[in-house]
Structure formats: structure tokens, C-alpha cells
Amino acid sequence: MTNPAFKTSIATVSISGTLDAKLRAIADAGYDGAEIFENDLLSTHLSAREIAAMMQDLGLACTMFQPFRDLDGLPEPQRARAFDRLERKFDVMQELGTDLLLVCSSCSPLADCDRERTIADLTEAAERAAARGLRLGYEALAWGRHVHDHREAWGIVRDADHPALGLVLDSFHSLSRKIPSSSIGDIRADKLFIVQVADAPMLDMDHLGWSRHFRSMPGQGDFPLDDWAGAIRKIGYQGYWSLEIFNDRFRAGSASGVALDGYRALRLMEGGITRPSPSAAALPPRVKTSGVEFIEFAASHEEAENLAAMLRPLGFRPTARHRSKDVTRWTQGVEDPVNIVINCEPEGLAHSFDVVHGASVCALGLAVDDVPGALARADFLRVPRFQQALAPDEWPIPSVRGVGGSLIYFVDAATRAAMWAHEFPHALENPAPGPRLRIDHVAQTMQYEEFLSWLLFYVALFDVEKTPQLDIADPMGLIQSQAVENADRSVRFTLNGSLAAQSLTSRFIQNYFGAGVQHIAFATDDIMAVADAAHAQGLPRLEIPRNYFDDLEARWGLEPDLIDAMAARDILYDRDGEAEYLQFYSRAFARRVFFEVVERRGYAGYGAINAPIRLAAQARHKPDFPD
């Protein structure tokens, strides 16, 4: 899938493990090349020649050796020592088989701030490199002592005017300093030796700490990378796009997982992260979704009965049975109903899921307009497809692996009615009357370390946007939360990750043995009626303390009758301008999955302000909670 116009590379510092494991993971993920980070070389038993041989076997170009620090502006004798050290690194590069060395702008307190000195030193270094057939790329570190802006670094490279001296652009250094990407237009493409790519969250902190700990993959952070990459393309740059991600979270993860995420992120950036790039037309587009067509639970018969006891009070009925399998279609509403599928098959993926996790969501079906296009996008991003043997005459619904090994089915939006009729021909009960529900959002819980990976999965595969990241207080720790949503908000996922071992999120992961769906929210236009009907039919509700409602009354000046009506039904409330949000929760099913019902009156969020109240209420049901 190599695109000659978009060559991919990654710095070995970006991923965990030993150098040989890193290189294998980088090659497996599909990159064209890798930058060798000096520390990885220093800490391996492999010689530079052995690394070169290994990279050649793996089909990886060695795109750069880096970094070389504190070269320019030094007084003697430090200057002579720096140039000796440089020659030694040239030896290493020749063995490694790369001709490019990254030279960082100096951070040395000894360095002279004289621009002419910098130019003279870099010119001499370039002359020495050229004598050995090598090149130097000069990079302005955001915390460089005198040079910390790519415009300044470019001016130095341009004026030095040596063929072996070029520029390295690193999105982190430029975008963390908010340097306008239009300034890249002044740079000559033949002088831009390599570009390094990283995203990051917008933080208000020192550049060094921000860069070393918070860099992330394109699409995971907040940097305007489309503008930056667009400006680089516009000058005619033809070289490598090389990820350089310093991040402790990634270094704690698996080498292959992080390498693959990086590859996906570069592919995402190639096509445009928030708007299509000029190359996007030639690439499989992001998958357009038009709704959550079904949610599939894996369950034993006994668990299925417990689940049924929660679904019935919400107005769901088992309306049809699968043509050949022990699978039931539960629906709510008549026209275009909400679909929940309960799979009790004694074999196959659903069964394995039930064995590992207990009754839980094993698959989601998303309605998409273009199923072959969706599969092409998944292949392009190297998202693994899942295939299970089809029974004769079974309707094929292609799927890929999602969070926690669950599946995402691509349901053809045009033929979904025919699909249901074909797959579930045996009618059971009639649908129940009552207020209609829709699927509002699906909340997935995961380890903190996996959070950014799944965020990237959604934004790269689907035509969705991410909301700002929130930190939510749990009685036992902090939870990170972020949503991805399609344009008409017919598909919304909320992702939650926790660092604290005892938070509800972490307990979910422990009880469940992995990441998965923690709750499903349904939307209604009449939450009071849904709450009353659910209560009358025995839905166990999450109880909310009276103090909460007293505070609501004080905060928003709501009518006492409304407050009482909400309190009687355990309905939480939020407001954003004129927009209002009402929400209530069920108790957890099998101590894992719970349901939420929401009424949105023009409100776009998820009631984050109420999450600590909800989490505390849930924590009270934990056997050893001191309350």
C-alpha cells in the first residue's frame, strides 16, 4: 500500500522495547523507513552494521540518525570536542547506512548567540559531512537557547547555503509555539531534508515537558496538522513524513500496537484529519455512518433472562428469532425500531465473548452507505477484518475488530430492512406501545493506556469528530472522557479511561477482563413517561440523593414541581444556555452494563457535570464502599 508520494517513517524513540523488536514492529506495521534514535543504538547489543543489515532484510530505509545536540556556538575547547564527536557519529551513520543526521539547535548555556557564528559552525560541519557523502538537517527545538523558531532556523540554513546543510521541520516545535504554517511557504523543498510529525493536546506548560511526555499521534491531539502538512505539500516536498512521538504512555504499550497506531495516524493525515487533503481523492474516504443499527449481546440463557428483565421495562420486546441460530431480535418502537440482538449460541465469537467476559456487548452494527468503501478504508488503515464461517443462506455482514476484541459490523443502510427480514424470519411477540426510544450513545470503557489508540481508531476509520477531552471525578480517582460523533450525531461513542485502580472504570475493566461497552444510552422525547413506565415494570433505577436536587433548585432556579418530578424519578439535569438535558440511569446488569435514558432539549453534551454524582451513586452499590 506504499504511496510513492507519501513516504512513511517513524523514529525508534516513539515505541517500546528493544531496538530489534521496535524495527520488526515498524516493518510489520507497513512503514517505509525508520529514524534510529541514538539511545536505542547505545542500548542495543547489535552493531550499527547489524542494524543496517536487519533494516535491509525488513525492507526499511534508515531515514535519519538523531539527535546530535549542542554543536554550534561553543567556545574552545568544547567546540573542538563537539566536532570530534561529530566525526565519530559520521562513522556510525556510514555503518547504519543513512546519510542524514539531525542537528538540534543548541541548548548549551555555553553557546554563543551570534548568528554568524552559528552559520559558520554549521557550514563547517556541513563541509565535513559532505566530504563523507553525508548531510545535516538543522532543527529548531522549541526550547533551543537561541534558535527556537523554524523561521530562524530556515534563515540560517538558507544563508549558510551549503548543499549538505538542510532543514528539519518538526510539527511539535512549530505548532507548540503557534508559528503560522504559512511561513513554511518561504522554505525551498530541496532544502527541507525531512519532516517530523507529532500531534499534542493544547496545554499551558513548558515546551520541554510538553514535548517529552505529551506528544501524540496525528488525530489524537489538538494541533492544526492539516494546515501544516498542506503548507509542506504546497512547496513540493517529496521526502519522508516521519513520526517522532515522545510519550510515556506509548512507551508503556506494546511495540506493535503503537507502531500500527502511528501508521494509521499517518494515513489519516495523508487524507486530511479534519478536512480532506488534495491526496484524499485518491484514497478510500472515511466511513460515513447513518446510525447504530443494532447492539449485540453475548449471553448464556440464564443471563439472557436477566437482561430481558431490564429491556422489557424500557419497552423492548423479543420480536423475532434468527433463521437458524439461538439468537433473538429485541426491538423498541415499530417504524425503524431500536434493535438489540441477544446471542446465546453455544459456539462462535459471541460464545467465546460470554466465556471470557460474561454477558456483555460483543458487537455493534453501524449503518453505512458504502460497505465496500468501508472495507477499503479499514484495509487502508490496517484495521483487521473479522470473518466467521457463514451458515448456508446467511446474509453476509462484513465486520472489523473494535474495542476489546468486539466487532463492528458494516450494515448496508440501503438494504437493512431486507437484512432483518431475511435473518430474523420467525416472529415472536408484538412490539410494545409507549414512548419511542432511539440509541443516543454507546459508552466504552478502557485502560488509560489504550484510550488514545481507540480514539484514533474511531477518528481514522469513521467520518466522526472528537469532542474536547474531559477529566471526570470518580469517588476513587479520575477518569478521562472524550466522545466521537458523526455529523448528524446519529452515531456517538463516549470513551472512558482511568488511571486510578479503584475507580468505577477500572473496576469495570477488572470485572470484565478488558475494555468494552459499559453503558448504552437511549434518547426519548418524554423522559418522565419513560421513567414512569420503566419504574412501574420493575427497572432497577440508580438512586440519586436529595441533596443533588436541592442544589439544582438553587443553581438554576427551577420550579419546585419540576424538581420534585425529577427527584421522584432520579432524573439528573444539566443546562447549556437555553439547552437542557435530562437523564436517568438503571442499576448495572450483571454488575457490568447499565442503561441510561436521556432527553435532549437542544443539548449536545453528555451531562459531564452529573458524572461524579452518578459515579458516587454507583459506588454506593459496591459491596465494600464506606457510605
39 binds ligand DHB (CB under 6 A): no
The annotation status of 518 as a binding-site residue, yes or no, is no
**In the set 12, 63, 66, 105, which binds ligand DHB (CB under 6 A)?**
66
User: In this structure, how many other beta carbons lie within 10 angstroms of the beta carbon of residue 488?
Assistant: 9
Grid cell 534508515 is found at: 62
Q: Report if residue 40 touches ligand DHB, rule: CB under 6 A.
A: no
Q: Which amino acid is at 491?
A: V
The least CB distance from residue 196 to ligand DHB, in Å, is: 6
User: Residues 71-110: x/- map of binding to ligand DHB (CB under 6 A)?
Assistant: -------------------------------x-x------
Note whether 605 and 576 are within 8 A (CB).
yes
Q: How far is the CB of 150 from ligand DHB (least distance, A)?
A: 11
**Which phi-psi region, left, alpha or beta, contains residue 97 (left: φ > 0; alpha: ψ -120 to 50)?**
left
Nearer to ligand DHB, 147 or 381 (CB): 147
Distance (Å, whole) CA 464 – CA 487: 7
Sheet holding 407-412, edge to edge: 385-386, 399-401, 407-412, 360-368, 289-298, 338-343, 327-332, 317-321, 426-427
- List the one residue out of 602, 555, 596 whose CA is nearest residue 576: 602
Candidate ranges 194-202, 286-294, 429-437, 446-454; the one touching Mg ion (CB under 5 A): 194-202
In whole angstroms, the minimum distance from the beta carbon of 106 to ligand DHB comes to 12
71 neighbors 121 (Cβ within 8 angstroms)? yes
Residues 111 and 145 sit within 8 Å (Cβ to Cβ) = yes
Please select the residue that binds ligand DHB; options are 70, 121, 170, 293, rule is CB under 6 A. 170
Q: Is 586 one of the binding residues for Mg ion (CB under 5 A)?
A: no
Does the annotation flag 347 for ligand binding?
no
The CA distance from 603 to 337, in Å, is: 23
- What does DSSP say about strands 516-523 and 594-601: parallel, antiparallel, or unpaired? parallel
Residues 519, 521, 522, CA angle at the centre, nearest 5°?
150
Contact between 220 and ligand DHB (CB under 6 A)? no
Q: Is 174 in the site for Mg ion (CB under 5 A)?
A: no
User: Count of residues binding Mg ion (CB under 5 A)?
Assistant: 3
Q: Does 351 count as an annotated binding residue?
A: no
Could you tell me the smallest distance in angstroms from the CB atom of residue 152 to ligand DHB? Answer: 16
Residues 122-141 that bind ligand DHB (CB under 6 A): 139, 141
Contact status: 67 vs ligand DHB (CB under 6 A):
yes
- In the chain, the amino acid numbered 189 is A
> Nearest distance from residue 585's CB to ligand DHB, in Å?
45
Return the number of the residue (245 or 509) whose C-beta is nearest ligand DHB: 245
Q: Is 450 annotated as contributing to ligand binding?
A: no
- The footprint of ligand DHB on this chain (CB under 6 A) covers a number of residues equal to 11
* Least distance to ligand DHB, CB of residue 116, Å: 25
Phi then psi for residue 618, to 5 deg, are: -70, -35
CB 481 → Mg ion: shortest distance, Å? 31
Report what 104 binds from Mg ion, ligand DHB, none; CB cut-off 5-8 Å by kind. ligand DHB
Query: Helix/strand/coil (H, E, C) string of 369-391?
Result: CCHHHHHHHHHHCCCCEECCCCC
Check residue 570 for interaction with ligand DHB (CB under 6 A). no
Any known ligand binding at 244? yes
Which x/- pattern over 321-360 shows residues binding Mg ion (rule: CB under 5 A)?
A: ----------------------------------------
CA distances from 459 to 163, 223, 267, 467 (A): 41, 15, 12, 11
14 in Cβ contact with 255 (< 8 Å):
no
Task: HSE, CB side, 13 Å, CA atoms: give it for residue 114.
Answer: 9
**Binding flags for Mg ion, 224-253, as an x/- string (CB under 5 A):** --------------------x---------
Which residues 232-271 are close enough to bind ligand DHB by CB under 6 A?
244
Measured distance CA(618)–CA(472) in Å, rounded: 14
Residue 139 annotated in ligand binding = yes
- The reply to whether 196 sits near Mg ion by the rule CB under 5 A is yes
Alpha helices in 161-197 (DSSP H): 171-176
Rounded to an integer, what distance in angstroms lies between the CA atom of residue 272 and that of residue 233?
Answer: 12
Residues 599 and 121: their CA atoms lie apart, in Å, by 67
Secondary structure element (H or E) that encloses residue 53, with its range: helix 48-58
Q: Which residue is nearest to Mg ion (CB)?
A: 170
Q: Are the C-beta atoms of 274 and 16 separated by less than 8 Å?
A: no
Give the three cell numbers for residue 255: 511495540
Q: Is 256 in the site for Mg ion (CB under 5 A)?
A: no
CB of 210 to ligand DHB, least distance (A): 10
293 is annotated as contributing to ligand binding: no
Q: Can you say which residues are annotated as belonging to the binding site for Mg(2+)?
A: 441, 519, 596
Binding site residues, Mg ion, CB under 5 A: 170, 196, 244
Residues at the binding site for a divalent metal cation are 139, 170, 196, 244
Binding-site positions = 139, 170, 196, 244, 441, 519, 596
Residue numbers at the binding site for ligand DHB (CB under 6 A): 66-67, 102, 104, 139, 141, 170, 196, 211-212, 244
